[in-house]
Structure 1
Amino acid sequence: MKKQEISEEDKKAEKKKLDIKVKDLEGKRKKLMVATEEKREEIEVELQELKYSATINMLRICEPYVTWGIPNLKSVRELVYKRGFVKIRGQRIPITSNEIIENKLGKLGIICVEDLIHEIFTVGNNFKFASNFLWPFKV
């Protein structure tokens, strides 16, 4: 199989994306879950890094079943403040104070909710840790 080259446009598109599963059609659900790497049964929003055009092509295939795009700062901020939960020892804990964030991500320089939002929005150096710390958003 020929290795796919990454164009300059694709490199510029290395940004975050917002996936929202909007439909559940019988028989297509399993393929959809695999295509979007979605493993949960509830409607969820997941912030991920957008790296390759292959990912975009996969999203275009399942476009009738999901909506996606690049979120703005306001959207990220509203999601975190209104629906933000974190994973601590496998439990879903609401973000009630900056102390929760500082205890887990303080060593990475993320000490408050705004730092977490900034890291997610800008896809900073600690994006992977910050996004894994957040529980998937339920809408």
Structure 2
Amino acid sequence: MERLLGLLKVKVVSGVSLAICDPLAHSSDPYVVICLGQQKVKSGIKYKSTNPEWNEELTLSITNWTLPVKIEVFDHDTFTKDDSMGDADFSILDFVEIAKKDLSHVPHDTVMKTRRSTLTRATASPPRATSHGKTARSLRTLSSS
């Protein structure tokens, strides 16, 4: 069994103007999957929505700092394979590097560092480490018109 180094909590907030993957319903049934190594956690499905609001917190165990975190958005389909709507990935090490620094002298919510993510059919804001040890990241899937 691998040694637990910590927990990664990801708050899945919302999607904006997601692609319409179900043309008959003129909508989508999106959900989010977050992977870290062999672990996979999934948000709830938001039926018939291209602007879903999840407001869910998903937690993964960190056993290796070098594994990438992958975020994927899918459209749920009942009778066929779910459609990929977009993905993004980032490194936990970016956040660990900032967390090790003494930030007591830095004003609240100051952005300390940003990194660009690898993206497919989606855009994501770069991860931001802020002065009070919190990180912020948002994922927005583009509509495919």
Q: Using CA pairs below 8 Å that are at least 6 residues apart, which structure has the higher relative contact order?
A: 1
Question: TM-score band (shorter)?
Answer: under 0.3
Which structure shows the bigger proportion of residues in strand conformation?
2
Q: Which TM-score applies when normalising by structure 2?
A: 0.27
